[in-house]
Amino acid sequence: MPTADVNIAFAAEKTSQIEAARSRDRAFKSRIDRGEIRMIGGDRYEVLTGWDRGEVFTVTRNTKGEIDAIIANHGLDSRADGTIALYAASPAWHDLGQIIPGGTTDIDTVLGAGGLDFTVTTVPALYEWNGELRQHEDQFHTVRTDTGAPLGVVGRRYQPIQNRQAFEFLQELVGRFDVIWESAGVIRGGKRVFVSIRLPETVTVDADGINDIVVPYVAVMNDHSGNGQFQCVVTPWRPVCANTERFAVRDAVTRWAVRHTAGATSQIREARRTLGLSAQYFERFAEEETALARTDLAISEFHKVIGDLYPLDDDATDAKKNNFAARLGLLDAGFRAEGERLGFTAYAAERAITGYVDHLAPRRPAKSMTEEIARATAAFEGADDDLKSRAHKRLMLLTRR
C-alpha cells in the first residue's frame, strides 16, 4: 500500500487528536495510557509520538468536567483584524487562515492574505547610563515598520531582506512550472515568515513495491530576528503552521541560504539556479531511495551500519559504552518499527536513523535554550546533515553487494 503525502498524514493525525479529545474522554485517556500524549500541567498536554512530537496543546472542559474543546498550538500570528496570518491554497489541519481554493499565482495577493505585507527597518540600540540615553554604535534593533514591534538585535553589517524581495524570485518558477503559491504565513510576531510552492511532479520510491509517494515543495523562509538566514529548501512539507515550517527545514533534500548583508538580495538570484536543478535532483533521489527499498537488511547488518556511524573504541569508558548501548537500543527499536511497515530494508534503516537524529538524539542546549529549541535550531542550521549524508552513502554501499 502506498504511504500518504506527509502533509495529508500530518493533517489526519491532527484531526484524530482533536476529534478524540472532543468526542470521547475515554479515547483521550487511552492515548495518555499508551504514552502518546502526557499532561504537563493544568489543562496543557504534550504530544509524545507522531509527526508533531513535542507540540503542546490545551484542553478545555465543560461544567461537568467533560472535554469541550481542544486548542491546538499552530504557532501562527494573528493579523490586525484578528484573523490568523496564513494564506493557503487548500484548508490546513487547523482550518484557519485565508483560504483561496485552487490557490493564486499573484504574489501580492499571497503577501496580503498571509500577513507578510510589512517591511522591516533597523534602528539604533540605545541604553541608559547615569541618567543619560546613549547609543550603542555597533548594535541595532530590527523593527516592523507597520507596528513598531521589535524583532531582534543585529550588528552594523546586517541589512534586512524585505519579504517581497525575499519571495518575488519564486514568481518566475510559478510561471515556468505553471503552479500556484501553496502557502504563506507569519510566526513569532514577524520574526520568521515563509512561503511555499509545489513542484509539478510527485516522486515515487519503489513503485512496484512499497510505492512510497513524495510530494516535493519549494519552501522559502525569511528571518528578521538576527538569529537566522534567508533560506530556500526543497522538501516534502507544505508549511502551514510552526511545526510544518520546522519540518520543512528538517526534512529538506536540498537547501540554499544567505545571510542578511548588503549583497544578499543580488545573491538570491543564485537560489533560482539552484532550485532549477530540483527536478533532476528528485529523479536521482527516487532512484537511490528505490535501490535502498529493494535491498534487504538483517537486523545484525543494521547494527554493523550503526557501529560504523558511531564507532566505539575497544578501550571506551563504561559511560561511553552505556551511551552506545542506549543509542543502539533506540535505533534498533526504530528499525524494527519501520521494518514492520516498509519491510526490513536499507530504506527502513535510513528512515530509522533519520528519525533518531531528528527526534531522539540527545541535545546539549546552550545556556537559556531548551532542548526542544536546540533540536529545532540544529534542524534549521543543518547540523546533522553530514551524519545523514554518511548514513545514506553507507547504506548505498549495500545496494551494490
The answer on pLDDT for 62 being more than 80 is no
The structural domain count of the chain equals 3
Task: Judge if pTM exceeds 0.75.
Answer: no
Domain assignment of residue 195, yes or no: yes
106 and 223 both lie in a single domain:
yes
223 and 301 both lie in a single domain:
no
301 and 225 both lie in a single domain:
no
Gap between the Cα atoms of 264 and 159, Å rounded: 8
Identify whether the C-beta of residue 176 lies closer than 8 Å to the C-beta of residue 66. Answer: no
Show which of 278, 309, 340 is a domain's final residue. Answer: 278
Identify whether the C-beta of residue 66 lies closer than 8 Å to the C-beta of residue 25. Answer: yes
Show which of 71, 95, 128 is a domain's final residue. Answer: 71
Report the pLDDT value the prediction gives residue 198, as an integer from 0 to 100: 84
3-state DSSP helix/strand/coil % of the chain, to nearest 5 = 40, 25, 35
- Give the list of residues 6+ apart from residue 137 with CB closer than 8 angstroms, or none: 156
User: For 64-107, how does the pLDDT look when each residue is reduced to its tens digit (9 = 90+)?
Assistant: 776 666 666 678 898 888 899 999 999 887 788 999 999 999 99
User: For 291-321, how does the pLDDT look when each residue is reduced to its tens digit (9 = 90+)?
Assistant: 999 999 999 999 999 999 999 898 889 999 9
Domain assignment of residue 80, yes or no: no
The answer on pLDDT for 11 being more than 60 is yes
234 and 309 both lie in a single domain:
no
Gap between the Cα atoms of 230 and 216, Å rounded: 20
Predicted confidence band of residue 379 (pLDDT cuts 50, 70, 90): very low
More confident residue, 259 or 24: 259
Range of the domain at 66: 6-71
95 and 211 both lie in a single domain:
yes
232 and 262 both lie in a single domain:
yes
Residue linked to cell 493544568:
42
Gap between the Cα atoms of 204 and 214, Å rounded: 6
55 and 97 both lie in a single domain:
no
Domain assignment of residue 151, yes or no: no
Report the pLDDT value the prediction gives residue 367, as an integer from 0 to 100: 47
176 and 234 both lie in a single domain:
yes
